[in-house]
Structure 1
Amino acid sequence: MTTARAGRTVLFDMEFRLLGPFEARHDGRPVEIGSRRQERCLLGMLLLDTGRVVPTDRLIDLLWNGRPPAAARGAVQTYVGRLRGALKPYGVRISTRGEGYAVEGEGISVDVDEFGALVRAAGVAADPAERARLLDRGLALWRGPLLADAADGELRDRLHGTVEELRLVAVELRAEAQLALGQHAHVIAELMPLADRYPVREQLVAVLMTALYRGNRRAEASRLYRTTRELLRADFGVEPGPRLREVHRRVLDGDDRLDRTGRPVYEVRVRDENLPWSVGGHPALDFCNTLAGWGRESPLPGAEWLRGYRTLAVWSGHAGLADEVAVNRLLHLARRDPATAEAVLAEARAFRAALYASLVDPADHRAFDAVARAAEAAARTMVFRRAADGRGRWRADLTAGLRLPLHAVAFSGAHLLADPGRLTVRACPDERCGWLFLDGSGLRRWCSLGTCGGRADAPCRSA
């Protein structure tokens, strides 16, 4: 089997499909693996963490939902033995490592991994048509709930609850891309039933309200907002977030910005955080662009994403400055020590201002010195490691604790300031924007994000 993953073609001998009923294919042809439900379920658990050890105790806990029989360990060993025999002809191994098992082998494809790769690729694609294409391919992998014939709903939540969340994120991102392409009718048809199932999912509701507005259905858009607001207040005691309130305000005002097609999408959803699109061409620039409209009193809704330590940690993983293990560890530490996390966040904001000043005004020696001190502190924590793709990468070591994402971006910022490419950094001169971007051509004067087009009378311009 061949598949295109994030822009390249990869050859796979063995394909496992977990998004729906369990399926295994070798060279594109179905093969029988695991005739018993629990065997398929166990293999699915291992495939969700291909190459990593899953402890036997966790397998037992999941298979019997916390109520294992006395012979559970022996049963797991029996299941593994049968699966090894079934998988051996296809070059797939289940290795015993310590107190657990791991699936190993060359040329293994798992649809859950493929789906995640396509969503991540869509999240950094600048062209809405390309984003929609990638997300169409990813969502086409869904044939039903995770391990539909081998796991119940409770087990699916425990196994990989984020998979369903990622599917909804993909649907929302595709809807936003479709709106940018002028396809509001498609968005309404797809999101209407989902809004009934997930009535307090604010991102989904905001996109659907925009689509309804463009379809001359303002009354329905307003009614949808009222329903969502009532449910949020009744069930959670909270008001809608700033983005949803802003969309509602624009619907009531008849704001023409909701009618614009081709308007850029400012955010990408990573886990349950809204982060800006990767727009600057460099992590340090994206870090500076955490506030859309540096000179504006009221920035665009959701533009200030550096509002919590969790967001900072998730962003550092999204931008490739930290790996997934580090991000999960950071979130755990932040829950245990919120005061330190808040202090690190304040440092990150101060560093952002210094880095921004260094890039827009090379003569600002005070700002450069602040960046230099942060970079020197970061350098003492950096280690050089071999990454999964075989290349070496500098990473901030986990011993840096909650300061890890700050060290990571300081190291990245120092590299940018030392790079001749720094001379191509431009700041949009519109007083209501100020976004930074790399301009290798030397021709552009205005950013192309639409952030300085916050009002209809001042559209974003380019040379």
Structure 2
Amino acid sequence: MEFRLLGTFEAGPVSRQVVVGRRRQERLLLAILLLDAGHSVAIDRLTDLVWDGEPPASARGTVHTYVGRLRAALAPHGVAIVTRGSGYAVEGADVDAARFADLARRAAGTSDLAERVRLAGAALALWRGPLLADIAGEPLRRRLGESLLDLRLGTAEAYARVLLDMGHHDRVALDLIGLAREHPTREGLVAHLMTALYRAARQTEALALYDRARKALATESGVEPGVELETVHQRILAGDPRLERPAAPVYAVRVRDLWLPWSVGGHPALELCNTYAGWGGERQPGAEWLRGYPTLAVWAGHQDLLDDATVTYLLDAAQRDPLGAAAVLDEARDLRARLYACLTDPADAKAFAAVAPYVEASAAAAVFRRAPDGRGRWRLTPAAGLRAPLHAAAHSAGDLLADPRRLTVCACPSPRCGWLFIDHSGRRRWCSTATCGDHAA
């Protein structure tokens, strides 16, 4: 049975709600148990919370009565309140607060930015208002849900930050403006919302949001806004162009709302290796390009290794099977590292031997077909599934390793670069990012 606590207390499906507990205190008792679903809550804690720190002498007996009524009401729905030690626990309940916490922690734990946005957005969408809005006052709400609120605000900040980096300021303004107004002292969230509003040509609202935050900070804590919030405020006042666009990784091109590195190597296999920026020195912003499976799939399409329809299919398939997609991404990163070692040292037989199985697997997953122009082309079979971009990259690697051009591959000597490129003349000193020579001078 489903229970919704993130807003007004509701039980049962949205289309057919179930009345559980005729008294507010009964519903509050059940809500307290649901917030710790599966774990025992001591009777002393229940009486303290239900009566907000002032339980009457009859509180323990009243709790037993409430539990009896709730058991009878919940039993037909497969939910049980069981006695454990000196307390009670709820079993068999589906609680929105638990789903929110799970989604929020999964969002924080993934390096795939698109997946982080999806998970965080789904988590935040579960909130319909303040926790237990109809049965708990603000002091009790803070006691019951302080950790949930912190997780909500932290998730909202991360969600806003990623969306801004992806250029989706409109979604930030739409989804989070209300939350920022409710919590004006949450400076990180307010700063992100101010940036989103400014990019949406809503400068007046952004400045009003700052004024509200400044007054709240002074009233509640006696402090002025911190560095992050004040910096955004000053940049808005100055019309600073740095606020007008998302921060881009170095040497980047945007494809399907994802950042990809410039193509500078002259061959797709080299571009795979160049999905690192700054191999030999301190990592620059955006150094790890293959942050998630969607980036791998979009990169393969951008390099013309996969057609557009296949890329779209793979992006959908990755959402359905995130664990499978993550496993393919790990293999792609391994191939990339092995291939880089192989290309920078032709004598490295161990690296070549590590790349070879990937190339052989790509050959086994492909068929040779006639293209409309009459030429023959290797095409991956549908059985490749999520491994299609990995096979495509490996096929390209095998093509280069068998080509005489492989002997003209050079690595940019700049300690901040290390990107690979083909140099037929043997006279080029740097890759074509046009900045490496200046850094190394």
Tell me the TM-score normalized by structure 2.
Answer: 0.51
Distance 1:140 1:252, change over 3 A: closer
1:404-443 superposed matches below 5 A: none
The reply on whether 1:49 has 2:36 as its aligned counterpart is yes
1:9-158 superposed matches below 5 A: 14-25=1-12, 29-105=16-92, 108-158=93-143
> C-alpha separation between the residues in 1 aligned to 2:44 and 2:138?
21
SS of corresponding position for 2:12: strand
| 2:181–2:209 CA contact under 8 A, matched in 1 | no
Distance 1:218 1:34, change over 3 A: closer
Read off the aligned partner of 1:78 and give its amino acid letter.
Answer: T
> C-alpha separation between the residues in 2 aligned to 1:15 and 1:196?
30
| 1:129–1:181 CA contact under 8 A, matched in 2 | no
Which residue number corresponds to residue 376 of structure 2? none
Distance 1:83 1:224, change over 3 A: closer
| 1:16–1:24 CA contact under 8 A, matched in 2 | yes
1:207-286 superposed matches below 5 A: 207-216=192-201, 221=206, 225=210, 228-229=213-214, 232=217, 235-248=220-233, 250-251=235-236, 256-261=241-246, 263=248
> C-alpha separation between the residues in 1 aligned to 2:113 and 2:235?
23
Read off the aligned partner of 2:74 and give its amino acid letter.
Answer: L
Distance 1:50 1:193, change over 3 A: closer
In the TM superposition, what whole-angstrom CA distance separates every residue of 1:218-277 from its partner, at most 9, and x where no partner exists? 67656755664565456534443343344446556655443333748xxxxxxxxxxxxx
Which residue number corresponds to residue 398 of structure 1? none
Distance 1:58 1:255, change over 3 A: same
| 2:180–2:189 CA contact under 8 A, matched in 1 | yes
| 1:202–1:244 CA contact under 8 A, matched in 2 | yes
SS of corresponding position for 1:31: coil
Distance 1:249 1:94, change over 3 A: same
Which of 152, 161, 174 pairs up with 2:159? 174
Unaligned runs of 5+ in 2: 250-280, 286-333, 341-389, 398-410, 419-433, 437-441
How far 1:146 moved relative to its partner? 2.0
Read off the aligned partner of 1:144 and give its amino acid letter.
Answer: G
How far 1:173 moved relative to its partner? 3.0
Q: Say how many residue pairs are matched.
A: 275
| 1:19–1:147 CA contact under 8 A, matched in 2 | yes
| 2:4–2:10 CA contact under 8 A, matched in 1 | yes
How far 1:153 moved relative to its partner? 2.1
In the TM superposition, what whole-angstrom CA distance separates every residue of 1:99-134 from its partner, at most 9, and x where no partner exists? 1111123xx310001111122222234444433332
How far 1:66 moved relative to its partner? 1.6
SS of corresponding position for 2:56: coil
Distance 1:50 1:228, change over 3 A: closer
Percent identity over the alignment? Answer: 52
| 1:39–1:83 CA contact under 8 A, matched in 2 | yes
Larger radius of gyration: 2
SS of corresponding position for 1:96: strand
Tell me the TM-score normalized by structure 1.
Answer: 0.49
| 1:26–1:90 CA contact under 8 A, matched in 2 | no
